[in-house]
């Protein structure tokens, strides 16, 4: 039997020996082995739904997103323990951000600063509590519909236009949202001087201009709201609660006038909403007076706009400085530098009259969207109505009540300025009306300025002011000349019907006119706007529907590329333009020889191309419209009996030819004043001769009848064609001579060569009823065309 | 709490033990060592004192140890301190009070921490490499019903939770743990940011923690070389479950993950069986213990020892659970194999080696301790030790694998 005790006694020795022999390397390997890494746990942040769903999803989506975010934020106050329970100080938020626990993305330092300034602006001081956060979420929940509306109004219009997406209730919601939010901001005033550093972090560093203009921008906004709210807000400091209170009061005060706003924004229907529109008639100035009187509204400093523009490096609307000159003239309360809030009461009369005129114009049941020329305007626009006949309404403008609204507004503006500026109460404004109209048209076009502010802030190219471009095309003075022309040509003041025989006989011997003036009555003022409206519409129509290839050329740095059109293409399209929009002119020119008449006249008024290029800018086409409008207006204005001829009445100094001479002379002089035509002493002498002497007037009558300055001895009835023929001769006799003799004459500008050798007649005059451009759009129905009566 | 235990010891000593001093046995062993850990630059000093004071009715066993250095610690414990008196004629029929383990009292030998019955009873693990089983504080009774068949029980009105090596949590919640502390996660990663964790221990009313009762009922049957045991007991869990709440704490300019830990000691009920045959080599004992409150929790062990030379038994053992899970935390029962083999080369020169290894997949680890003792003169010996620890990152011994050590010291017994 084996002695187990002995075996076990030897066993340890054997084990030790075995270990001793084999374990040296093993021990070396394990000795002082590195300790395991410290234990670490991972926490995964729960994924939050995108906040975009709050704005774009359904209401249920919005509530879900809000509840998830609220849970995350309020839970964080329990999860994160700072020095005080349920409160996080700015310093603690700093630590969280610097540690990377609050990930603000790649621009963390920027966002960090933004967060701090936001807390200050939100009135939280140096700390925010869980209750603050809950209150904020509760506010968002309560106002979620308004916030979503704001998003829709602010973002979506970029896709489909503000006008289609915004209504009055949206604006009201927006105002209430802003006031509700600002009321939450606490009653702690932040001095205006401290606002800039608080807001500066919110402007991305790439927005250089916005950063630079922030300070004057704040001054501008604070000054504006101080003027708007008066003592309701503090002019020297930002106080969110008082600002919010003011907005709330403002909305409440003017709430019952919302039909006004509906009307201005074009969402009111003159028939359906007539009762509500009538109910607020005359209320605007009353409300304005109640809002302003007794609340110590300070004046608004116009200079703040200039400072803001300068900081943005954004050009002010042309002749903006003239506003300073006009402010005291429009209201004694204004000074050249200050816009008095009570002037706002006076301005409100424009809107009041606008609505009144609109309601009055649409009172007549024959006034409809389709037949807006039958509306009862403040003045007679028979000449213009010839242009805005149904055919134009279809081609140039959509058939909307907008046309009636526009005329009503122009009438209201005309009346306002006449009331304010006609100091001698003779019903006419003096020569300075040119400047005023310049300013007004710029204000009308101020949307361009506002758009440019947004573009500049976003560091996008700004657009040139279209008005300015127009002025350049009209050689700087053209606009006022156009204004004067419009005032002379378009309003039908029924002068011919009311004159006595004595006056008519006396007119045969008296100088027909003194120097042309710029006097203008209310109707004239309206007409200016009217014509401006018309040429803008025509220009858009040409660019959209005619074969005018456009190319984008980069001009000055920071300015959007300029659209340019080859001048030759414009000349090629000229017959179609006239055919479609100015049929009287077209037909007369065809009868008298298109190249000899319209070809010469319009290539002369059409500007020369940009130096070194064959291109023109779109606004250059306006001169074609202006000239054609004038000629058509001449026909409508002076052809008293509508027979298409201008005849002489032996016993009437105010006969049709007198009318033509008067307006033709005005045209010539204004075109020369505008620099469109070269000043020619001979023409000036002739026009003076015709204007100031009986013989001259008789010879002039003959000349416009024959259409040739050399055939002054043949008494003949004049027509539009003979007048254009004469004008062409006066403008460039070398061209007309070459056309008549059949060789290629002067053609300094591209396209001018087309007026020779019958090229336009053979190639570009519409052969059928429809012009070329109609091939690219829905042709007019025959019944529509038949409605045209000339 | 430790002072409380010391108070109990002193009180017992004064009241119950004074009359028995005359016939007392007193053994004391004082050990002093210098230990050099591979993980640390400088050696630490170690002092240990074991005292056994025993009379006919009273037994006191106390252990004190102290280790110097910034990661050192000390402990004073009395695994057994009890007064026992017999009633009736049979030797087994007795009643005891004080501190003792009812099963150990019945067996007449200590319970190994490497067995099923002892592994989760180890109330004091401060000396992490040498765990031992403590008793309950209360009273117990045992009675022989008939020859070889005994019943025994114990009741404790007091509960003493585990004293593990300290985590060293300071007031700021920072960890400065003991060398063999089982470290909780020390960092948290969230969103790519690594944050240190700061712990805060929340303990409810201390009296509510301590005044929890425990009850043990057992029976044993001995027949020739066989012994069978069966028992059931209910007691608060000795090693706590933790209820944690976490958050972020911002201090000055740093952010920490702050974990508030609330240790919970839920009540557990266990039932166990054991069978031993003393006629087989190493007198193997098979033990199985099953939790009645957590169905999947159990322990099974096979353990035996054989004394080849007096006072130097060879011990071998296997400890495991029947349903090991890879997600369990490291435990001594991760398929533990252990062997303790003492060898006497001469009367003066002795050697012993202890191998403990866990073989559970993904939690493999080992501890190998070699000790050489040379006795210069009676009761005074020099001791040299080499201890090597190793294993996987998350394993019972592997977490301490940087703490390999050598030591040199002396023992004085009297």
**Is the pLDDT at A446 greater than 70, yes or no?**
no
Q: What residues in A contact B199, CB-CB < 8 Å?
A: none
- B338 pLDDT band, cuts 50/70/90, is very high
Could you tell me if A487 and A524 are in contact, meaning their C-beta atoms sit under 8 angstroms apart?
yes
B294 lies within 8 A of chain A by CB: no
Could you tell me if B225 and B276 are in contact, meaning their C-beta atoms sit under 8 angstroms apart?
no
What's the half-sphere exposure (Cβ side, CA atoms, 13 Å) at A306?
A: 13
Looking up tokens 């030998």, which residue turns up?
A: B109
Residues whose CB falls within 8 Å of the CB of residue A6, separated by 6 or more in sequence, listed in order: none
**Mean local confidence (pLDDT), B243-251:** 76
Residues whose CB falls within 8 Å of the CB of residue A87, separated by 6 or more in sequence, listed in order: A77, A127, A128, A129, A130
Q: Which of residues 131-190 of B touch A (CB under 8 A)?
A: 183-190
Q: What residues in B contact A80, CB-CB < 8 Å?
A: 247-250
pLDDT at position B366: 93
**Is the pLDDT at A603 greater than 80, yes or no?**
yes
Q: Which residues on neighbouring strands pair with residue B395, listed in sequence order?
A: none
Measure CB to CB from residue B341 to each of A12, A45, A78 and give the nearest one. Answer: A12
Q: Which residues on neighbouring strands pair with residue B86, listed in sequence order?
A: B94
Q: Mean pLDDT highest for which of A160-169, A331-340, A644-653, B211-220?
A: B211-220
Strand duo B254-264 + B193-201: pairing: parallel
- B339 pLDDT band, cuts 50/70/90, is very high
Could you tell me if A697 and A511 are in contact, meaning their C-beta atoms sit under 8 angstroms apart?
no
Q: Following DSSP, what letter does each residue of A685-744 receive, concatenated?
A: HHHHHHHH-HHHHHHHHHHHHHT-TT-TT----B-HHHHHHHHHHHH-HHHHHHHHHTS-
Q: What residues in B contact A19, CB-CB < 8 Å?
A: 353
pLDDT at position A167: 62
Q: What residues in A contact B193, CB-CB < 8 Å?
A: 99-101
Looking up tokens 């003075």, which residue turns up?
A: A477
DSSP A101: S
The candidate with the shortest Cα–Cα distance to A628, out of A597, A596, A672, is: A597
Residue range B144-165, pLDDT digits in tens: 888 889 999 999 998 877 667 7
Q: Which residues on neighbouring strands pair with residue A286, listed in sequence order?
A: none
| Cα–Cα distance, B302 to B337 (Å, whole number) | 10
- Each residue of B102-116: b (16+ CB within 10 Å) or e? bbbbbbeebbbbbbb
pLDDT at position A789: 26
The candidate with the shortest Cα–Cα distance to A610, out of A569, A564, A573, A546, is: A564
Q: Provide the H-helix boundaries in A582-711.
A: 583-592, 600-605, 622-638, 656-673, 681-692, 694-706
Q: What residues in B contact A39, CB-CB < 8 Å?
A: 183-187
Q: What is the residue-averaged pLDDT of chain B?
A: 84
The H helix count followed by the E strand count for chain B is 3, 22
**Is the pLDDT at A508 greater than 60, yes or no?**
no
Query: For the purposes of burial, counting CB atoms within 10 Å of the CB of B18, is it exposed (0-12), middle (13-18) or buried (19 or more)?
Result: exposed
Q: Following DSSP, what letter does each residue of A423-485 receive, concatenated?
A: TT-SS-B-TTHHHHHHHHHHHHTHHHHHHHHHHHHTT-PBPPPHHHHHHHHTTTTHHHHHHHH
Could you tell me if A36 and B394 are in contact, meaning their C-beta atoms sit under 8 angstroms apart?
yes
Pull the structure tokens for residue A566.
């080859």
The candidate with the shortest Cα–Cα distance to B77, out of B128, B26, B126, is: B126
Q: What residues in A contact B194, CB-CB < 8 Å?
A: 40
- Does the model's ipTM exceed the 0.95 cut? no
Residue B299 CB: number of other CB atoms within 10 A?
A: 24
| Cα–Cα distance, B346 to B359 (Å, whole number) | 35
Q: What residues in B contact A40, CB-CB < 8 Å?
A: 185-189, 194
| Cα–Cα distance, A737 to A357 (Å, whole number) | 52
pLDDT at position B142: 92
The H helix count followed by the E strand count for chain A is 41, 11
Strand duo B136-146 + B149-156: pairing: antiparallel
- A17 pLDDT band, cuts 50/70/90, is low
| Cα–Cα distance, A12 to B313 (Å, whole number) | 12
For an interface test with A, the pick among B167, B255, B279 (most A C-beta atoms closer than 10 Å) comes out as B255
Residue B1 CB: number of other CB atoms within 10 A?
A: 11
What's the gap in Å between the CA of A301 and the closest CA on chain B?
48
Looking up tokens 């359904």, which residue turns up?
A: A58
B404 lies within 8 A of chain A by CB: yes
Measure Cα distances from A29 to A25, A659, B396, B403 in Å: 6, 119, 19, 14
φ, ψ dihedrals at B384, nearest 5°: -125, 135
Measure CB to CB from residue B388 to each of A5, A27, A101 and give the nearest one. Answer: A27
Question: Kind and range of the H or E element at A203?
Answer: none
B295 lies within 8 A of chain A by CB: no
**Smallest CA–CA distance from A85 into chain B, residue:** B249
| Cα–Cα distance, A288 to A345 (Å, whole number) | 6
Query: Would you give the end-to-end CA distance of chain B in angstroms?
Result: 30
| Cα–Cα distance, A317 to A430 (Å, whole number) | 24
Residue range A527-564, pLDDT digits in tens: 667 677 777 777 877 887 787 877 665 555 555 556 78
**Is the pLDDT at A20 greater than 90, yes or no?**
no
Pull the structure tokens for residue B32.
């002093």
Residue range A650-698, pLDDT digits in tens: 555 557 777 777 777 776 676 666 555 566 676 676 666 666 666 666 7
| Cα–Cα distance, A306 to A581 (Å, whole number) | 41
What's the gap in Å between the CA of B6 and the closest CA on chain A?
36
- A477 pLDDT band, cuts 50/70/90, is very low
Query: For the purposes of burial, counting CB atoms within 10 Å of the CB of A310, is it exposed (0-12), middle (13-18) or buried (19 or more)?
Result: middle
Give the number of A-B residue pairs with CB atoms closer than 8 Å.
118
Q: Which residues on neighbouring strands pair with residue B76, listed in sequence order?
A: B64
pLDDT at position A679: 66
Q: What residues in A contact B351, CB-CB < 8 Å?
A: 12, 16
Q: Which residues on neighbouring strands pair with residue B349, listed in sequence order?
A: B374
The candidate with the shortest Cα–Cα distance to A729, out of A749, A697, A706, A713, is: A706
Q: Following DSSP, what letter does each residue of B22-82 receive, concatenated?
A: GG-EEEEEEEEEEEEETTSSS-EEEEEEEEEEE-SSEEEEEEEEEE-STT--EEEEEEEEE
Choose the weakest-confidence range: A237-246, A298-307, A602-611, B282-291. Answer: A237-246
Tell me whether residues A8 and B314 touch, CB distance under 8 A: yes
Tell me whether residues B401 and A36 touch, CB distance under 8 A: yes
Residue A602 CB: number of other CB atoms within 10 A?
A: 25
Residue B329 CB: number of other CB atoms within 10 A?
A: 10
| Cα–Cα distance, B9 to B137 (Å, whole number) | 11
CA A196 to mean position of chain CA atoms: 30
pLDDT at position A5: 54
**Mean local confidence (pLDDT), B187-199:** 71
Could you tell me which residue, A723 or B191, shows the higher pLDDT? A723
Tell me whether residues B255 and A101 touch, CB distance under 8 A: yes
Could you tell me if B48 and B64 are in contact, meaning their C-beta atoms sit under 8 angstroms apart?
yes
The candidate with the shortest Cα–Cα distance to B195, out of B178, B174, B170, is: B174
What's the gap in Å between the CA of A36 and the closest CA on chain B?
5
Could you tell me if A755 and A737 are in contact, meaning their C-beta atoms sit under 8 angstroms apart?
no
| Cα–Cα distance, A194 to A332 (Å, whole number) | 36
Q: Where are the beta strands (DSSP E) in A21-165?
A: 40-43, 80-81, 87-89, 127-129
In three-state secondary structure terms, A643 is: coil
Pull the structure tokens for residue B408.
């040199």
| Cα–Cα distance, A251 to A147 (Å, whole number) | 17
Residue A103 CB: number of other CB atoms within 10 A?
A: 14
A614 lies within 8 A of chain B by CB: no
What's the gap in Å between the CA of A77 and the closest CA on chain B?
10
Looking up tokens 């109990």, which residue turns up?
A: B8
**Is the pLDDT at A393 greater than 60, yes or no?**
no
Pull the structure tokens for residue B65.
């140890």
Question: Kind and range of the H or E element at A79?
Answer: helix A59-79
Residue A168 CB: number of other CB atoms within 10 A?
A: 18
**Smallest CA–CA distance from B388 into chain A, residue:** A31
Query: Would you give the end-to-end CA distance of chain A in angstroms?
Result: 145
The candidate with the shortest Cα–Cα distance to A707, out of A623, A757, A646, is: A646
Could you tell me which residue, B133 or B216, shows the higher pLDDT? B216
For an interface test with B, the pick among A20, A81, A102 (most B C-beta atoms closer than 10 Å) comes out as A81
Looking up tokens 């942040």, which residue turns up?
A: A45
The candidate with the shortest Cα–Cα distance to A680, out of A566, A788, A604, is: A604
Could you tell me which residue, B108 or B123, shows the higher pLDDT? B108
């Amino acid at each position: 039997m084996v002695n187990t005790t002995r075996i076990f006694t030897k066993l340890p020795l054997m084990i030790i020996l075995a270990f001793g022999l084999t374990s040296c390397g093993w021990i070396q390997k394990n000795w002082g082995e590195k300790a395991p890494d410290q234990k670490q746990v991972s926490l995964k942040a729960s994924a939050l739904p995108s906040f975009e769903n709050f704005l774009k999803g359904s209401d249920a989506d919005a509530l879900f997103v809000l509840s998830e975010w609220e849970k995350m934020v309020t839970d964080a106050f329990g999860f994160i323990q700072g020095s005080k329970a349920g409160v996080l100080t700015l310093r603690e938020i700093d630590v969280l951000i610097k540690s990377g626990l609050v990930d603000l993305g790649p621009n963390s330092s920027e966002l960090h600063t933004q967060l701090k300034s936001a807390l200050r602006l939100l009135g939280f001081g140096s700390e925010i509590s869980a209750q603050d956060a809950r209150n904020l979420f509760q506010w968002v929940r309560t106002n979620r519909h308004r916030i979503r509306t704001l998003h829709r109004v602010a973002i979506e219009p970029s896709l489909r236009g503000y006008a289609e997406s915004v209504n009055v209730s949206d604006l009201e919601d927006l105002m209430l949202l802003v006031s509700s939010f600002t009321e939450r901001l606490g009653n702690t005033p932040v001095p205006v001087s401290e606002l800039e550093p608080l807001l500066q972090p919110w402007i991305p560093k790439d927005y250089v201009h916005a950063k630079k203009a922030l300070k004057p921008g704040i001054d501008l906004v604070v000054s504006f709201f101080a003027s708007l709210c008066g003592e309701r807000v503090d002019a020297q400091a930002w106080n969110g609660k008082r600002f919010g209170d003011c907005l709330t009061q403002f909305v409440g005060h003017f709430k019952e006038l919302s039909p006004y706003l509906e009307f201005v924004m074009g969402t009111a229907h003159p028939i359906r909403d007539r009762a509500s529109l009538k109910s607020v008639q005359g209320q605007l100035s009353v409300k304005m007076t109640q809002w302003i009187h007794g609340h110590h509204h300070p004046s608004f400093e116009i200079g703040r706009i200039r400072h803001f523009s300068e900081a943005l490096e954004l050009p002010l609307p042309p002749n903006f400085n003239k506003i300073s000159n006009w402010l005291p003239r429009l209201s004694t309360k204004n000074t050249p530098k200050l816009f008095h809030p009570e002037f706002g009461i006076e301005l409100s009369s424009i809107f009041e009259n606008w609505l009144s005129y609109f309601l009055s114009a649409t009172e007549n049941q024959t006034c409809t969207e389709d037949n807006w020329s039958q509306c009862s305007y403040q003045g007679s626009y028979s000449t213009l109505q010839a242009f805005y006949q149904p055919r134009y309404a279809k081609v140039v403008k959509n058939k909307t009540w907008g046309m009636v609204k526009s005329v009503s507004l122009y009438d209201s503006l005309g009346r306002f300025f006449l009331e304010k500026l006609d100091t001698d109460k003779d019903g006419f404004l003096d020569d300075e009306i040119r400047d005023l109209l310049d300013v007004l048209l710029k204000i009308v076009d101020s949307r361009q300025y506002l758009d440019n502010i947004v573009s500049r802030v976003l560091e996008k190219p700004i657009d040139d002011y279209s008005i300015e471009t127009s002025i350049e095309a009209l050689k700087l003075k053209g606009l006022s000349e156009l204004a004067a022309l419009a005032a002379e040509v378009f309003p039908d003041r029924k002068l011919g019907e009311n004159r006595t025989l004595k006056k008519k006989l006396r007119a045969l011997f008296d100088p027909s006119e003194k120097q042309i003036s710029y006097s203008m009555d209310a109707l004239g003022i309206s007409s200016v706007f009217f014509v401006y409206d018309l040429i803008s519409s025509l220009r858009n129509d040409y660019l959209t529907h005619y074969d005018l290839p456009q190319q984008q050329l980069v001009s000055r740095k920071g300015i959007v590329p300029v659209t340019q059109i080859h001048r030759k293409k414009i000349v090629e399209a000229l017959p179609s333009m006239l055919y479609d929009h100015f049929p009287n002119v077209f037909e007369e020119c065809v009868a008298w020889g298109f190249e000899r008449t319209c070809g010469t006249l319009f290539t002369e008024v059409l500007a020369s191309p940009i130096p070194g290029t064959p291109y023109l800018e779109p606004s250059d086409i306006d001169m074609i419209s202006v000239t054609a409008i004038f000629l058509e207006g001449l026909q409508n204005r002076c052809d008293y009996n509508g027979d298409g001829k201008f005849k002489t009445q032996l016993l009437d100094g105010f006969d049709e030819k007198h009318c033509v001479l008067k307006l033709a002379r005005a045209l010539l002089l204004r075109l020369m004043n505008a620099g469109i035509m070269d000043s020619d002493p001979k023409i000036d002498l002739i026009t003076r001769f015709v204007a100031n002497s009986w013989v001259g007037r008789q010879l002039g009558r003959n000349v416009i009848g024959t259409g040739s300055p050399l055939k002054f001895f043949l008494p003949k009835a004049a027509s539009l064609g003979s007048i254009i023929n004469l004008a062409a001769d006066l403008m460039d006799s070398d061209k007309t001579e070459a056309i008549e003799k059949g060789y290629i004459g002067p053609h300094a500008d591209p396209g001018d060569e087309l007026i020779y050798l019958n090229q336009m007649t053979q190639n570009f005059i519409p052969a059928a009823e429809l012009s070329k451009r109609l091939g690219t759009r829905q042709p007019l129905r025959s019944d529509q065309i038949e409605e045209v009566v000339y | 709490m430790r002072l409380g235990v010391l108070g109990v010891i002193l009180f017992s000593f004064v009241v119950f033990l004074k009359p028995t001093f005359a016939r007392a046995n007193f053994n004391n062993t004082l050990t002093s060592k210098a230990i050099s850990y591979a993980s640390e630059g400088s050696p630490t000093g170690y002092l240990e004192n074991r005292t056994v004071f025993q009379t006919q009715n009273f037994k006191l066993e106390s252990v004190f140890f102290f280790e110097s250095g910034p990661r050192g610690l000390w402990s004073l414990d009395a695994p057994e301190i009890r007064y026992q008196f017999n009633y009736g004629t049979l030797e087994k029929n007795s009643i005891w009070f004080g501190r003792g383990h009812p099963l150990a009292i019945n067996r007449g030998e200590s319970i190994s921490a490497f067995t099923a019955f002892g592994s989760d009873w180890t109330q004091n693990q401060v000396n992490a490499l040498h765990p031992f089983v403590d008793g309950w504080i209360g009273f117990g009774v045992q009675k022989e019903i008939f020859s070889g068949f005994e019943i025994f029980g114990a009741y404790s009105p007091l509960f003493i939770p585990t004293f593990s090596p300290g985590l060293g949590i300071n007031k700021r919640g920072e960890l400065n743990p003991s060398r063999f502390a089982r470290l909780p996660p020390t960092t948290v990663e969230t969103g790519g940011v690594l944050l240190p964790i700061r712990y805060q221990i929340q303990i409810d009313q201390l009296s509510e923690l301590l005044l929890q009762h425990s009850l043990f009922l057992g029976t044993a049957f001995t027949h020739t070389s066989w012994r069978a045991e069966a028992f059931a007991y209910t007691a608060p869990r000795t090693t706590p479950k933790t209820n944690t709440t976490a958050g972020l704490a911002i201090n000055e300019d740093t952010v920490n993950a702050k974990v508030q830990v609330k240790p919970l000691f839920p009540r557990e009920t266990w039932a166990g069986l054991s069978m031993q045959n003393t006629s087989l080599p190493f007198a193997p004992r098979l033990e199985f213990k099953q939790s009645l409150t957590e169905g999947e929790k159990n322990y099974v062990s096979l353990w035996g020892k054989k004394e080849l030379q007096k006072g130097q038994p060879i011990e071998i053992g296997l400890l495991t659970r029947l349903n090991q899970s890879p997600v369990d935390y490291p435990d001594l029962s991760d398929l533990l194999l252990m062997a303790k083999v003492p060898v006497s080369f001469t009367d003066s020169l002795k050697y012993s080696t202890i191998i403990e290894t866990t073989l559970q997949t993904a939690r493999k680890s080992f501890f190998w301790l070699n000790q050489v003792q040379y006795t210069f003169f009676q009761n005074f010996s020099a001791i040299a030790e080499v201890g090597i620890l190793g294993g996987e990152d998350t394993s019972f011994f592997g977490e301490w694998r940087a703490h390999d050590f050598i030591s040199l010291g002396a023992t004085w017994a009297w």
